[in-house]
Structure 1
Amino acid sequence: MIQAAGLTKRYGEKTAVDDVSFTVRPGVVTGFLGPNGAGKSTTMRMIVGLDRPTAGTVTVNGAPYARHRAPLGEVGSLLDARAVHPGRSARDHLLAQARTHGLGRRRVEEVIESTGLGPVARRRAGTFSLGMGQRLGIASALLGDPRTLILDEPVNGLDPEGVLWVRTLLRGLAAEGRTVLLSSHLMSEMALTADHLVVLGRGRVIADAPLAEIVARAQTATVRVRTPMTAELERELRRRPGVGVTSVERDVLDVTGCTAPEVVAAAATVGVAVHELAPVRTSLEDAYLRLTADAVEYRSTPVPGAPAPGRASLGGSR
């Protein structure tokens, strides 16, 4: 279990983490989300003792990380997959770590095989691709068979098989009763992996709830309709109180304040042909973007003509 209470970190006049409190419980995968600059990396560094809090406390399995006599057996972490001596082989890197905790060669070989590093175990880490570097980082995190796992962007650079492997691994570890904290910017993968979310924005917690609850809060009653006669249908719908209409793309409208049967009835009234009709389901990405809309510190400029974030065609995934 990870417990943060009033966790604060300042760098001069800059407050990176501001009075953050949350609990990461065993048996679930907790997603750790937030825009760039929100304080996620700083918080994870404080959890494993790489940064000292300005105020507040954080414990792992009941004690600060630095007080654990055998930390690899308590916490396995992947914060930077590049933090490996480039001239050392994958096997030697893991053996060096294992010796600090009295772990034998057998355990090293187990994690090499389980992470798919067998064919490249004798190669220097500096020659690894991004994906293989990630596998080595995960192997290091798993080496001590820890009760708690903290992974920052673990699927970065992995192929589809590797992404599925990480997802299955983390779900399996949580099912064993272990504590899993996962940070990632891939909302589609987070939606498939996490049970609970902690979301930071500008150094503060802006959400701490089950994933399903966060998505449900953002759900709106929206009907998407495809018709070649959007102007006629929009004109008829806007005559009705409380109905909102948004043009998504050519021949596609999003309608709020109106049920699907009511949209069909309106279309029939003015002789509009409806080619497709479906409810719009809010995705985790949609919910996240709405939740963090006021907490984005580094905002990109939209490309002219590009669809708005969260928009998709009627047949697209949401």
Structure 2
Amino acid sequence: MIEAHDLTKRFGSKTAVAGIDFRVEPGRVTGFLGPNGAGKSTTMRMIAGLDRPSAGSVTVNGRPYRQHTAPLREVGILLDAKAVHTGRSAYKHLLAMAATHGIGRKRVREVIELAGLESVANKRVGGFSLGMGQRLGIAAALLGDPATVILDEPVNGLDPEGVRWVRTLVRGLAAEGRTVLLSSHLMSEMAQTADHLIVLGRGRVVADASVDEVIARASGTSVRVRTPNLAGLNRAIAGPDVSVSTLDDGAAVVTGLSSEQIGDAAASAGIAIHELTALSSSLEDAYLSLTADEVEYRSTSVAPTPEEVAR
């Protein structure tokens, strides 16, 4: 388990992490999201003992990382896959790490096989592709068979087979009762992998809930409606918080009422309804909605969402 209490980090006058509280529970994959500059990397560095908090605390399995006598056996971390001696082979790199914790060669061979590195185990890491480097970083994180695993952008550079492998791996680790914290900018992948989300914005927690809850909160109430009497339906459902937008295909999007409320109003007015479809947001839509006011580095234009295109 990972627990943070009033966790704060300042760099001079800049506050990177502003008194956050969260808990990463075992037995589920927790996604760690946020725009660039939100404080994710700083938070993970504090979890790993690489940065000292300015205030507050963060513990892994009940202790600060620095207090674990055998940290590789407690928490496996991938923060930077490039942090490897490029002149060493993958096997020698893992063997050197294993020697620091009395981990045997058998386990080194196991994680090499697990990560699909058998064919390149004796090649120098400096010649690895980005994807193979990621696999080596994951193998290193799992070397001590830790109860807690933290992976920062683990699918970066991986091909589709590799992405699926990571997804299956982390869900399998969580199913074994381990604590898994996974950071990624790929919302589509996070939607398929994570059970729970912690979202940061400008150093603060803006969401700490299940994936379904995060999406539901951002979805609001939007319903696609098709009727031969749209004008009559407009009169039947008119209200201060209700809006109706006509689509090019003749249907309409109603916001402010649920499907049930629209259907009941249409029935009372004797209006035929041919379609009632509740519109839900994707995780990407929900994430962008949550962080809309939290982006520190913003491009000059943002592509419209599918609902905005429909309107």
Would you say same fold, with TM above 0.5?
Answer: yes
Please tell me whether residue 182 in structure 1 is matched to residue 179 in structure 2. Answer: no
Number of the residue aligned with 2:297: 298
Residue 150 of structure 2 corresponds to 150
| Residue correspondence of structure 1 range 54-203 to structure 2 within 5 A | 54-203=54-203
Instruction: Report the equivalent of 2:24.
Output: 24
Q: 1:187 deviation in Å?
A: 1.2
Q: 2:284 aligned with 1:288, yes or no?
A: no
Instruction: Provide Cα deviations, 1:64-84, integer angstroms capped at 9, x if missing partner.
Output: 111111100001000111111
CA–CA distance in 2 between the matches of 1:149 and 1:172?
12
Alignment length, in residue pairs?
Answer: 303
Query: In the TM superposition, what is the alpha-carbon distance from 1:287 to its structure 2 partner?
Result: 1.6
Q: Identity of counterpart residues, as a percentage? A: 67
Is the aligned partner of 1:206 residue 2:192?
no
Q: Deviations over 1:117-176 (max 9, x none)?
A: 111111211211111111011000000000100001111111111111111111111111
Aligned position for 1:33: 33
Q: Distance in 2 between matches of 1:246 and 1:161?
A: 42
- How many angstroms does 1:254 deviate by? 2.8
How far off is 1:100 after superposition?
0.7
Assess if the C-alpha contact under 8 Å between 1:98 and 1:104 holds in 2. Answer: yes
1:309 match: 305
8 Å CA contact retained: 1:286, 1:310: no
Instruction: Report the equivalent of 1:221.
Output: 221
**Cα distance in 1, alignment partners of residues 195 and 276 from structure 2:** 31
Change (3 A) 1:257 1:74: same
Q: 1:250 to 1:35 in 2, by over 3 A?
A: farther
Contiguous gaps of at least 5 residues in structure 1: none
- The structure 1 segments of at least 4 consecutive aligned residues displaced by more than 6 Å after TM superposition are 247-252, 262-265
Q: Contact between 2:216 and 2:280, CA under 8 Å: does it hold in 1?
A: no
Q: 2:238 aligned with 1:241, yes or no?
A: yes
Shift of 1:114: 0.7
Between 1:292-301 and 1:217-226, the stretch displaced more is 217-226
Instruction: Name stretches of at least 5 consecutive residues in structure 2 with no aligned partner.
Output: none
The worse-fitting range, judged by mean Cα deviation, of 111-120 and 207-216 is 207-216
* Alignment RMSD (CA, Å): 2.8
CA separation in 1, counterparts of 2:308 and 2:190? 19
TM-superposed deviation, 1:220: 2.4
Any conservation in 1 of the 2:98–2:108 contact (CA below 8 Å)? Answer: yes
Q: Aligned partner of 2:205: which letter?
A: V
Q: Once the 2 structures are TM-superposed, how far is the Cα of residue 223 of structure 1 from its aligned partner?
A: 2.3
- CA drift of 1:277 comes to 6.2
Q: For residues 22-42 of structure 1, give each alpha carbon's deviation from its aligned partner in whole angstroms, at most 9, with x where no partner exists.
A: 111111111111111100000
